[in-house]
């Protein structure tokens, strides 16, 4: 089973990032490990533990840049609509909701209360951008948080798909995720 982790930010072709240590993971690279708190259970979720069971699709949302992002909501809705195909690809979903630690969990619960998440979806919070910074996805501009991003990671830890948005739109199509999962 694969896991899907959502990260917010604009979509950018991974080839456009500089080839140095201060850039997001690229196709063929090993994904950096992380441990984040599950929004519903309060337990820590680690990439290493997820990869022991399944490939991972990591999706980074914009989190709370002062408002709930309607494009993130549409993106999550599209993933939910395609949850059966993701599940059939033996994938689970982990969505990263970044933001300042103050009221982050409250804002994440508010955002996800609008969505009925399938059992193979997990939401984690990224207080004070620790994860976002470690993946070099911080959108450091007024009223911004992270570049919306999607990574598909095989059980071996290798990244097989990257989509990073440098703006609010241009999010990964769920069918691209399913196609990438089919390569594993």
Residue 12 has pLDDT above 90, yes or no: no
* pLDDT per position as a tens digit, 80-136: 999 999 999 898 889 999 998 889 999 999 999 988 999 989 999 999 999 999 999
Please give the structure tokens belonging to residue 90: 């033996």
Contact 95, 59 (CB under 8 A): yes
The H-or-E segment that residue 130 falls in is helix 130-134
Task: Give me the pLDDT at residue 144, please.
Answer: 92
* CATH numeric code, 2-181: 3.40.30.10
Contact 136, 130 (CB under 8 A): no
Domain ranges within the chain, ordered by starting residue: 2-181
pTM above 0.95, yes or no: no
Cα of 167 vs its chain's centroid, Å: 16
Please give the structure tokens belonging to residue 163: 């989509």
For residues 47-58, give the mean pLDDT.
91
Residue 30 has pLDDT above 70, yes or no: yes
């Amino acid at each position: 089973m694969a896991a899907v982790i959502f990260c917010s930010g604009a979509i950018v072709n991974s080839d456009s990032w500089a080839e140095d240590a201060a850039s997001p993971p690229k196709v063929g690279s090993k994904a950096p490990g992380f441990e984040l708190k599950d929004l519903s259970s309060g337990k820590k979720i680690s990439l290493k533990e997820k990869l022991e069971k399944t490939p991972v699709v990591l999706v980074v949302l914009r989190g709370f840049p002062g408002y709930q992002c309607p494009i993130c909501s549409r993106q999550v809705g599209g993933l939910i609509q395609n949850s059966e195909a993701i599940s059939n690809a033996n994938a689970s979903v982990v969505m990263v909701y970044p933001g300042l630690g103050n009221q982050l969990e409250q804002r994440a619960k508010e955002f996800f209360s609008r969505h009925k998440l399938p059992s193979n979806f997990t939401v984690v919070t990224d207080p004070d951008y620790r994860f976002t910074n470690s993946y070099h996805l911080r959108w450091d501009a007024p009223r911004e948080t992270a570049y919306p991003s999607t990574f598909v990671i095989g059980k071996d830890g290798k990244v097989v798909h990257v989509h990073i948005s440098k703006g609010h739109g241009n999010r990964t199509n769920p069918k691209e995720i399913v196609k990438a999962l089919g390569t594993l």
